[in-house]
Amino acid sequence: MPHHHQPSNLAALGRTWVEAWTARDLERVLTLYADDVVMTSDRIPAMGFDESGTVRGKDALRAYWSKALALLPELHFSLIELFVSPDSVVVFYENERGKRICEYLRVNAAGKIVQGSANHLVG
């Protein structure tokens, strides 16, 4: 069954997510995630992690993002828009290189992120 969250709570989660990343506060970012989180991104194989592009669990996510942050000293996200559904928020943002990205974040009943997918423009 899908969990129904208030749009304002999901929007607040999305804003906190952007703020925590821009502060380069990895532990704050990770507090937003469930222990059994599944994260998918085309950057995961590029960083030498799972070839499938998916990491599973908070510990694997911490390892992946720790490596990514070390390689991206200029990392900065600027929020463009937030989109909400009853059980997810999509954060549309621009990164430090001017790339526009949509991050799909699905949340559980406790309001923690259980699935994240980084969606990049094609081409």
pLDDT in tens, 48-88: 888 999 999 999 999 999 998 999 889 999 999 999 999 99
Nearest residue to 70 (alpha-carbon basis) of 51, 93, 47, 50: 47
Residue at 34: amino acid letter: A
Distance between start and end Cα atoms, the chain: 36
Nearest residue to 89 (alpha-carbon basis) of 1, 3, 26: 3
| pTM of structure | 0.91
Structural domains in the chain plus CATH codes: 7-117 (3.10.450.50)
Nearest residue to 24 (alpha-carbon basis) of 81, 65, 84, 63: 65
pLDDT value of position 2: 59
